Structure 1
Amino acid sequence: MDTLVVEVILNSEAKATVCGLFAIALWCAAPGLIRSLSQLFSPLGGAALMYTLGAFLLVIFLGRPHIRQWPRSYLIVGSALFVAYEICLSLSLGYAQDNAQAIELGVVNYLWPCLTVMLAIAMNGQKARWIIVPGSACALFGILWVVSGDGLAVSKIAERISSNPLSYSLSLSGALIFALYCNVTRRYAGGQNGVAFFFTLTAIALWIKYAFSDQQIGLFTVRNTIELIAAATSMAGGYALWNVGILRGNLTLLATVSYFAPVLSSAFAAAWLGAVVTTQFWQGAMFVTVGSLICWAATRRRTVPPEL
């Protein structure tokens, strides 16, 4: 956020850290709001509206992107990965069979922090201690525990996935894609922040897909419009504030808190959507959180916290 206003206001690490923490809170609210938008405006229509408004907000707060200054590899690969991830995330939630499944899919998506660390080892030569192995196993077990629903049985997991293979595959693919995006950004971005441009591309891609679908955008009411603004603000505002936090704030604190997002996000979504989730679900979400924290601790000496 390279404006004069930000330079004047955010003149301390504490204030920048607060911005980072607020970004995490906004992102935690996003999955529940995205699911709500899909019910109000259709999965494709709601996502397209959200990213369109989000792109507009980001241009206002971050300024017009100067893509000619970006490394070509970041422009091409970063754009493709970001757009693919955002589409996977929004549509996996939008196509969920019910609100409880949408919350479950949100936790599956949060496998990305663990995947980010593992890809950092393979792609960027990140050093890691042996605890990366139990950390990864803990996160994966958490996902299986969430998806299983009752106990831990391969047949139950297969049954739940086969009930909606599109959403589960989109959510899991999104986790892998965003892990790739984090590592590509770290390696090739050269300090550039392309989120406003990427939001614009995401909106364009969704509108094109919507044009060839049979979905219809619902009526705009006061409530629907407020929810649209809230969803766009949670996504766009989260990215804008996170940029401030990681540049000037307490990175260790922000990284630690960010890994509690699966639990915080699920809690907000359950309350917002009025969905009932089981004790086993919360246990699985905690396993994902703990596993991600262990993976981060395994590379703590060298790791800069990735974007959410």
Structure 2
Amino acid sequence: MSKSDLSKGATLLGLVAILFWSTSVGVTRSTIEFLGRTGAPAVLFTVSALLLLPTRTSLRELPRRYLWLGAALFVGYELCFVLALGFARTRHEAIEVGMVNYLWPSLTVLCSAIADRKRLNALMLAGLGLAFIGVITASSPAEGLSLSRFFHNAASNPLSYGLAFIGAIVWALYSTCTKHMAQGKNALWFFMALSAVGFWIVHAFNAERATMNWSTHVVIQVALASAAVTLAYLLWNIGVLRGNIHVLGLAANGTPLMSALFASVLLSAPLPIIFWAGAALVAVGSLIAGVGLRSARASA
């Protein structure tokens, strides 16, 4: 098989990863409803770490900075993202909080520009601003854009919205830093295992932890959710390392829309038209910011 064919195959796997990633809000929230906000992720990441055992790499082969800084950022993101979904009071709010998390592509552009010592241009700033407007739009009533409604929602549940926003920043830092430090190595299994340990610790100290309601249905759901999470990270890693990163970056901009679609179906939570408009603005904002970054790099 030629190098070109391998690259196309890796790119295709990366595109499949985006589909799996888009299910994360829906499958995670639905599992939380059965196993609790701390128990569900502890179980999910434990199963995912076990599924990734065949891919594990000797820790001695991994760059030290990537290993420890990458681990801290990865685990920090997962804690923020999953707990944000767990603390959401309703399914609709969980989808809304998930949209806040999808500010990370635009924030990644910001972090990348700073890391590359590039000046922020009009496209980057416009894209970032549009993404933020999209998040506000997604939380607005059907009558139209409402900044006050967004701040009211965030103020009524600051932990959930705050964790989602912090998670977006942390993942942007992870995406920027690990690219420079990984040196082509993969510590995904280690990161997953640490995330599982982190969630079990949080679960152990959670005085309000819910009882895990196990059934055949829940076991099947955990298996499917863990497989989706594992494949999303595994296939994305292959796509980024060996595929066409520009194609994958372009496709990833559509994740907010796909995530909202999957979450709406999986959680049986119909979304108003204004939410879809907000999700589209987040996606378009990410795309514009990415174009701005590529323009800045090309003119260097």
- TM-score when normalising by structure 1: 0.90
**Cα distance change of structure 1 residues 123 and 251 upon mapping to structure 2, 3 Å threshold:** closer
* Distance in 2 separating the partners of 1:201 and 1:126: 34
> Could you say which residue in structure 1 is the equivalent of 2:61?
69
Q: Is the 8 A contact 1:124 1:187 kept in 2?
A: no
**Cα distance change of structure 1 residues 78 and 302 upon mapping to structure 2, 3 Å threshold:** farther
Letter in 2 for 1:300: R
Residue 125 (structure 1) shift: 2.5
Instruction: Give the counterpart of 2:41 among 28, 44, 47.
Output: 47
Letter in 2 for 1:246: V
* Distance in 2 separating the partners of 1:76 and 1:124: 22
> Could you say which residue in structure 2 is the equivalent of 1:306?
none
> Could you say which residue in structure 1 is the equivalent of 2:149?
156
SS of 1:148's equivalent in the other structure is: coil
Letter in 2 for 1:219: N
Instruction: Give the counterpart of 1:197 among 190, 201, 206.
Output: 190
The correspondence of residues 67-146 of structure 1 with structure 2, limited to 5 A, is: 67-126=59-118, 129-146=121-138
* Distance in 2 separating the partners of 1:292 and 1:228: 31
Aligned residues: 294
Q: Deviations over 1:249-279 (max 9, x none)?
A: 2222211111100000100000010002111
* Distance in 2 separating the partners of 1:200 and 1:149: 41
Residue 127 (structure 1) shift: 6.5
> Could you say which residue in structure 2 is the equivalent of 1:176?
169
Letter in 2 for 1:177: V
Q: Which moved more, 1:148-157 or 1:80-89?
A: 148-157
* Distance in 1 separating the partners of 2:104 and 2:272: 23
> Could you say which residue in structure 2 is the equivalent of 1:4?
none
Residue 162 (structure 1) shift: 1.7
Letter in 1 for 2:100: V
The correspondence of residues 199-218 of structure 1 with structure 2, limited to 5 A, is: 199-213=192-206, 214-218=208-212
Give the RMSD, CA atoms, in angstroms.
2.0
5+ residue gaps, structure 1, are: 1-6, 304-308
The correspondence of residues 156-305 of structure 1 with structure 2, limited to 5 A, is: 156-213=149-206, 214-300=208-294
Q: Is the 8 A contact 1:108 1:143 kept in 2?
A: yes
* Distance in 1 separating the partners of 2:66 and 2:290: 24
**Cα distance change of structure 1 residues 55 and 40 upon mapping to structure 2, 3 Å threshold:** same
Letter in 2 for 1:292: S
Q: Deviations over 1:7-62 (max 9, x none)?
A: 99x962232222111100100011100000100100100010000001111122x2
